[in-house]
Amino acid sequence: MLCVKTKLKISKISGMGLFADEDIPKGTTVWKFEPNIDVLLSKQEIEKLTDASKEQVYNYAFLDVDHKKYMLCGDDARFFNHSDNSNCTDEFSNITVALRDIKAGEELTVNYKKFYGDMEKQPELL
């Protein structure tokens, strides 16, 4: 669940992006896992969905290696785009924080490779 004011805009990185709608100081919790909003799905659960639903889940969900499931954010957090030089991180397991001061209007990014592994070669889930 997003913990700061954000808005969606067209991203120079990829498609739509998540942008700060307020200044965010370094260390601020930007997002945290909220089981009433965010969903953890096993590969088996996803495979039971319709083809259209599977495509949507695989487009927006990310492999959570701690839970060995795919996490689908139920809010606009699914629009965080990847950057190797990200301004947010998820090193604290289920919490994303600002790595530096972020100005209003700046795109919020995470380095998915740091906490979800190589997205091109996702590990097999149990």
117 pLDDT higher than 80: no
Q: What is the CATH number of the domain that holds 18?
A: 2.170.270.10
Whether residue 56 is contained in a domain is answered as no
The whole-number pLDDT of residue 60 equals 83
Whether residue 57 is contained in a domain is answered as no
Whether residue 94 is contained in a domain is answered as yes
The H-assigned helical ranges of the chain are 43-47, 51-60, 112-116
Strand, coil or helix: what is 47? helix
Whether residue 85 is contained in a domain is answered as yes
Instruction: Please count the structural domains in the chain.
Output: 1
Whether residue 112 is contained in a domain is answered as yes
92-105: pLDDT as tens digits: 668 899 999 999 99
Contact 66, 3 (CB under 8 A): no
Whether residue 79 is contained in a domain is answered as yes
Domain that holds residue 28: 6-38+73-116
Contact 41, 62 (CB under 8 A): no
Edge-to-edge strand order for the sheet containing 88-89? 29-32, 95-98, 88-89, 109-110, 81-82
118 pLDDT higher than 60: no
Distance, CA of 101 to chain centre = 19
Whether residue 103 is contained in a domain is answered as yes
